[in-house]
């Protein structure tokens, strides 16, 4: 099985929309923050696609891609689309520990491995206090609840509406079982009062974002000179459910970034992330939906419901401007 | 030999010194818990020695940038108590309230300390029976060097009267740092978790505590007990020591042992269940939850706490009508470890721990499924239920008011199948690319667990080695 990160963007339309949202955010912030002077640090994957885009859209020249796997690192050196991208063979954490930041940075912690959730969240939170103010930090986390483990079905009871299996009193449901694991993994980051309802495929992303928010809030308490402004949060699924969150680290008394973020059409916070689950459409369907107010009426049929629980017409209407269109090119 | 003169050297404490010393040794979250403690002591006094129906009582706490408030319906402060004791800095020797009930307040500083910790302007409004009055503690009073008595004001308007007997405390002019904490969600989460743990027994009995409008759910600290009379059960001990009833249980909780494949383990120490380790209750208050330090015996004649012991939970409860006999400090969130009752209990705590440390050692290299079979008919029980259930077993030793059950001596602990004392553990690290490569060769998938891949490698070579030998 290929790890999720190496799947090309064209097979992952929701991830592509998510990335477009991030680029749109940076474009909005750029005039105020002067992003072209920033350093961009990320995990570029074999094709360094996001580096190419960040350079093209924002004019950022100083870029560092960090990669732990040697073969991927070599491939990055081969594929490097812009000469100024520095490719480093290291883990992101070790690399950041060894760097001094002379000015604000943009860091994308693009984690796909679900194993070390609390370490990932803590590392992100810690960075909030370590980077210069003005920095933009972004985190992607795996939000698949089955990554918490798969219990033996004999260890579980089941429930449906008011009915329950006979062993209900002595055995947990899958959600309760996951909640116990989630509590173990997060330790003190666990949001007190979180219930088993937050452990389904639809809701787990929200629970992770809540834990993330708490971890960052806690870190901010130790840094009276700064505040964080959450600007963009998403919950999407391309095979694996994922969540992302982006924040700007500002001076404690800064109001401009908050205003700038809140006035943005795609502004979203960890409490209410965008649910990105766009329908797969034919070219004709897409053009029809884009050019008509009443898309549902014009099509005359229903589009399949998404497993994230969003209406495909609504979500298309919201994101059609940045919905990617992929077509085949013969080289 | 000198002779007395008419001059005197001033020796009374300055208010500023007093306030800053008093608030220094308590955290903000603990100060809030102190106020909830006071509410519960109120409910106990209201019951006048009888059983308290906690479902009738509520406590509502609000934290915000400008204001702290706590309201309860726990009976309020009698006017005589307010006049003579409640606002005094420290408990007066002639204050003999509570000698017959299991309250926890003893030093008479909780409310004042909490208020001074938070801000400079407070109002305590209370209704006892039909008598309502309020006591302001203003910044003017705080700034004044003298110790003038606080005013007691009568209500003038209807909104100054409380609907039910109880107390409301409001603190304004919050200190900068306090204000920053009160608007921070992580701090709210910390307070919520602390209330859920510390007052778990009261919450389980129906007490309602609301924090910023949302009810707090109790944390359950429980150990597994098999339904079968010869099935596995926790260690149990109960005895009255120096007028304090001590109850102890040590057993397995419902956590899962950490997988050896998890890269996090070892590095990420916090990867552990909150309720693993020791929970200490004093008169129903959880003083400490999930302690894994030397304080509760870990690393003191037995191994230090580590991931292998995530499945072990111990609960100890101290119960006494005289709060001064309980082994707690003034903050009520820490133990007085030099007290006799604590030292004597610690011996038994360690005895119980040793049983389960040996147990987890025995099962260390065995698949979890083998163990699950023995525990499948077990239920998680609280300390009280565990003592009651296990206390009925035939192997339980009783003499006087002393009860003791040792599962190892009672031979009710499951043993792993085909246990070999000669088993040794092999641990090593390889780059993930190499693990995937081998995984693909063995299992036709590159994401099999590294532990399983390593084990198969060993089996393969072992078969070859045996062939060569033979």
Are B254 and B111 part of one and the same domain? no
pLDDT digits (tens, 9 = 90+) for B168-221: 999 999 999 999 999 999 999 999 999 998 899 999 999 999 999 999 998 888
Residues of A whose CB is below 8 A from B189: 191-192, 214
Q: What percentage of chain A exceeds 90 in pLDDT?
A: 56
Are B55 and B156 part of one and the same domain? yes
**Closest-CA residue of chain A to B226:** A170
Are B336 and B391 part of one and the same domain? yes
Residues of B whose CB is below 8 A from A180: 254-256, 273
Residues of B whose CB is below 8 A from A185: 271
Give me the total of CB pairs closer than 8 Å, taking one residue from chain A and one from chain B: 86
Residues of A whose CB is below 8 A from B292: none
pLDDT digits (tens, 9 = 90+) for B72-115: 999 999 998 888 888 887 766 666 665 555 555 555 677 888 99
Q: What is the DSSP string of A196-250?
A: GGGGSTTTHHHHHHHHHHHHHHHHHHT-TTEEEEEEEEEEEEESEEEEEEEEEEE
Domain-embedded: residue B267 = yes
**Closest-CA residue of chain A to B271:** A185
| Interface membership of B210 toward A (CB under 8 Å) | no
**Is pLDDT above 80 for B230?**
yes
Regarding pTM above 0.80, the answer is: no
Are B177 and B83 part of one and the same domain? yes
Rounded to the nearest integer, the mean pLDDT of chain A is 89
CB atoms within 10 A of CB A114: 20
CB contact under 8 A, B446 and A1: yes
Are B33 and B52 part of one and the same domain? yes
pLDDT score for A184: 82
Nearest to A71 among B193, B268, B433 (CB): B433
**Is pLDDT above 80 for B265?**
no
Domain-embedded: residue B2 = no
Q: Cα–Cα distances in Å, from B408 out to A68, B231, B232, B411, B415?
A: 48, 12, 9, 5, 11
pLDDT score for B342: 92
CATH of the domain at B190: 3.30.565.10
Q: Which of B164, B198, B215 is the last residue of a domain?
A: B215
Residue window 93-152, chain B: list those with CB within 8 Å of chain A. none
Nearest to B270 among A181, A188, A217 (CB): A188
Nearest to B264 among A115, A155, A188 (CB): A115
- Domain assignments of chain A as residue spans, ordered by start: 4-144+201-276, 283-322
Predicted ipTM? 0.70
Domain-embedded: residue B261 = yes
Burial A47-67 (b: 16+ CB within 10 A, else e): bbbbbbbbbeebebeebbbbb
| Alpha carbon distance B150, B137 (integer Å) | 7
CATH of the domain at B240: 3.30.230
pLDDT level of residue A76 (50, 70, 90 thresholds): very high
Residues of A whose CB is below 8 A from B196: 192-193
Fold of A4-144+201-276: Rossmann fold (3.40.50)
| Alpha carbon distance B455, B460 (integer Å) | 9
Work out the burial of residue B51: count CB atoms within 10 Å of its CB; fewer than 13 is exposed, 13-18 middle, 19 or more buried. Answer: exposed
Domain of B445? Answer: 432-469
Among chain A, residues having any CB pair with chain B shorter than 8 Å are: 1, 69-71, 115-116, 118-119, 149, 152, 154-155, 169-170, 172, 180-181, 183-185, 187-188, 190-193, 213-218, 220-221, 224
CB contact under 8 A, A119 and B192: no
CB contact under 8 A, B446 and A190: no
CB contact under 8 A, B216 and A193: yes
pLDDT score for A324: 82
Max CA pair span of chain A: 65
Residue whose entry in the numeric block shows the structure tokens 């400008």: B66
Q: What is the DSSP string of B5-41?
A: -S-----SPPHHHHHHHHHHTS-HHHHHHHHHHHHHH
| Alpha carbon distance A128, B35 (integer Å) | 34
| Interface membership of B183 toward A (CB under 8 Å) | no
CB contact under 8 A, B268 and A116: yes
Domain-embedded: residue B167 = yes
| Bridge partners, residue A106, by sequence | A40, A136
Give the number of domains in chain B.
3
């Amino acid at each position: 099985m290929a790890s999720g990160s190496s799947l090309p963007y064209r097979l992952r339309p929701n991830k592509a929309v998510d990335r477009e949202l991030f680029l749109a955010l940076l474009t909005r912030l750029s005039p105020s923050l002067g992003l072209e002077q920033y350093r961009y640090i990320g995990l570029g994957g074999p094709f360094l696609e996001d580096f190419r885009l960040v350079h093209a859209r924002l004019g950022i020249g100083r870029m560092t891609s960090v990669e732990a796997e040697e073969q991927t690192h070599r491939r990055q050196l081969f594929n490097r689309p812009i000469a100024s991208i520095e490719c480093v063979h290291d883990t992101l954490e070790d690399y950041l520990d060894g760097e001094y930041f002379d000015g604000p940075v943009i860091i994308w912690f693009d984690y796909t491995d679900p194993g070390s959730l609390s370490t990932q969240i803590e590392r992100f939170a810690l960075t909030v206090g370590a980077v210069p103010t003005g920095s933009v930090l972004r985190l992607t986390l795996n939000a698949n609840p089955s990554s918490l483990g798969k219990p033996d079905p004999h260890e579980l009871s089941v429930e449906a509406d008011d009915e329950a299996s006979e062993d209900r009193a002595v055995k947990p449901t899958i959600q309760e079982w996951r909640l116990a694991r989630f509590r173990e993994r997060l330790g003190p980051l666990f949001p007190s009062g979180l219930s088993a309802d937050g452990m389904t495929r639809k809701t787990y992303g929200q629970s992770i974002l809540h834990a993330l928010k708490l971890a960052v809030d806690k870190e901010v308490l130790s840094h009276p000179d700064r505040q964080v402004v959450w600007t963009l949060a998403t919950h999407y699924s391309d095979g694996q459910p994922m969540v992302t969150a982006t924040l700007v680290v500002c001076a404690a008394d800064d109001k401009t970034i908050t205003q700038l973020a809140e006035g943005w059409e795609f502004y979203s916070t960890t409490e209410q992330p965008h649910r990105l689950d766009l329908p797969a459409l034919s070219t004709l369907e897409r053009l029809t939906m884009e050019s008509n107010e009443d898309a549902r009426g014009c099509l005359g049929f229903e589009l399949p419901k998404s497993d994230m629980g969003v209406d495909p017409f609504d979500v298309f209407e919201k994101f059609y401007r940045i919905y990617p269109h992929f077509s085949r090119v013969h080289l | 030999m000198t002779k007395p003169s008419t001059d005197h050297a001033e020796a009374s404490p300055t208010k500023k010194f007093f306030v800053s010393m008093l608030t220094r040794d308590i955290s903000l979250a603990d100060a809030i818990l102190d106020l909830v403690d006071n509410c519960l002591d109120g409910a106990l006094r209201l019951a006048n020695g009888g059983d308290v129906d906690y479902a009738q009582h509520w406590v509502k706490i609000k934290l915000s940038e400008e204001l702290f408030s706590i309201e309860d319906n726990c009976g309020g402060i009698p006017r005589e108590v307010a006049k003579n004791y409640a606002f005094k800095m420290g408990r007066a020797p002639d204050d003999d309230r509570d000698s017959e009930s299991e309250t926890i307040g003893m030093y008479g500083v909780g409310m004042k300390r909490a208020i001074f910790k938070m801000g400079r302007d407070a109002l305590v409004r209370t209704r006892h029976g039909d008598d309502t009055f309020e006591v302001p503690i203003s910044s003017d009073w705080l700034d004044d060097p003298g110790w003038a008595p606080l005013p007691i004001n009568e209500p003038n308007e209807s909104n100054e009267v409380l609907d039910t007997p109880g107390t409301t405390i409001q603190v304004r002019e919050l200190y900068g740092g306090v204000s920053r904490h009160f608007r921070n969600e992580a701090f709210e989460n910390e307070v919520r978790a602390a209330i859920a743990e510390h007052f778990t027994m009261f919450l389980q009995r129906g007490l309602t505590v609301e924090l910023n409008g949302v009810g707090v759910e109790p944390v359950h600290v429980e150990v597994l007990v098999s339904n079968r009379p010869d099935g596995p059960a926790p260690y149990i001990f109960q005895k009255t020591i120096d007028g304090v009833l001590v109850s102890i249980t040590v057993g397995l909780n419902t956590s899962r042992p950490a997988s050896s494949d998890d890269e996090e383990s070892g590095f990420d120490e916090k990867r552990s269940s909150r309720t693993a380790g020791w929970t200490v209750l004093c008169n129903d208050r959880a003083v400490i939850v999930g302690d894994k330090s030397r304080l509760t015996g870990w690393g003191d004649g037995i191994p230090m706490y580590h991931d292998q012991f995530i499945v072990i939970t111990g609960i100890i409860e101290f119960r006494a009508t005289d709060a001064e006999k309980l082994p707690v400090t003034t903050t009520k969130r820490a133990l007085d470890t030099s007290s006799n009752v604590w030292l004597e209990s610690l011996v038994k705590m360690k005895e119980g721990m040793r049983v389960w440390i040996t147990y987890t050692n025995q099962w260390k290299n065995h698949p979890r499924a083998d163990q699950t079979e023995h525990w499948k008919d077990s239920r998680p029980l609280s300390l009280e239920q565990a003592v009651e259930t296990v206390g009925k077993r035939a192997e339980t030793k009783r003499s006087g008011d002393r009860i003791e059950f040792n599962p190892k001596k009672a031979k009710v602990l499951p043993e792993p199948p085909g246990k070999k004392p000669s088993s040794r553990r092999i641990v090593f690290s390889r780059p993930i690319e190499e693990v995937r490569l081998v995984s693909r060769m063995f299992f036709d998938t590159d994401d099999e667990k590294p532990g399983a891949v390593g084990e198969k490698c060993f089996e393969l070579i072992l078969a070859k080695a045996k062939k060569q030998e033979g």
